[in-house]
Amino acid sequence: MGASALVHQLNQPGLVQHRLPASVALAIGLLAAAAALMPALWVASQHLHVMAHEGGHAFMGSALGHRVSSVSMNVKGTGLTMTAGTGGLRIFLTSFSGYLASSAFGVGAAKLISMGHGVAVLWLLILGLAILLLVAQGLFARFCIACAGVLLFLAARYTTPGAQLAIVYGVTWFLLISGVTVSVKHWKTSGDAANLKKQTHLPRVLWSMLWLIGCVAALVYGAGLLV
């Protein structure tokens, strides 16, 4: 790659890109919904949601001053984030954030897309995965995070801005839709809800209800930004 081409590519994240037509955005959304709802596809795609979920725990814990000691994932589609720190409210917020993380990341990405910074989202995703890889524990977690990061980097490095924008739309839709999907699937089995019940003595169903409401609201708001 020549120097001028390299400079042009490095400038892409800062440039303003037009949003995709509503029909194209909806078509990508349908594909993302299939990845989140069809069991055959969910077997693989669920690990993208787990990265967002555990990344949410790690981000919140770190933002509140806790040291993130490890993030692990397994082939069954669950994960665990370990943080070292004290403080009742901080532990509560770290535990509470996981089920909203995918939807929150999706809303953030949708907002950047609506502002014309869709390609920047791609690089932010790569950066987030690189940071998550630093605290990943276990071969499976490292493999999944590294593969996702490499694929996104190849897309950012070798595809056109239009293709990059389509990929960002797909990831954003998936984050928004999978947040709702997992909140419904884990309505009665959430380990985070069990932890919050121990911390607050409030029923598990309360936390599941709050997560579902939050994820549905994020999907509706994010969809409005994308379409």
What is the pLDDT at residue 15? 67
Angstrom distance (rounded) from CA 186 to CA 126 = 28
CA separation for the pair 7, 67 (Å, rounded): 37
**Structure tokens given for 57:** 């725990």
- pLDDT value, residue 18: 83
- In sequence order, the β-bridge partners of residue 71 are 81, 136
Name the token pair of 71.
């993030």
Structural tokens at position 180: 């709702």
Q: Which two tokens stand for residue 35?
A: 């990845």
Question: Strands (DSSP E) along 42-167, which ranges?
Answer: 67-73, 79-84
Q: At what angle do helices 161-185 and 88-114 cross, to 10 degrees?
A: 140
> Mean pLDDT for each 10-residue chunk of the chain (227 residues)?
46 72 97 97 96 96 91 94 81 93 98 95 97 96 97 95 96 98 90 90 94 98 97
Enter the DSSP assignment of 66. Answer: -
pTM here? 0.91
DSSP code, position 182: H
Number of continuous H segments (helices) and E segments (strands) in the chain:
9, 2
Residue 187 has a pLDDT of 86
Encoding tokens for residue 206? 């309360």
Residues 6+ apart with CB under 8 A from 126: 149, 152, 153, 156
Query: Nearest Cα to 58, choosing from 50, 70, 47, 73?
Result: 70
pLDDT of 86 reads 63
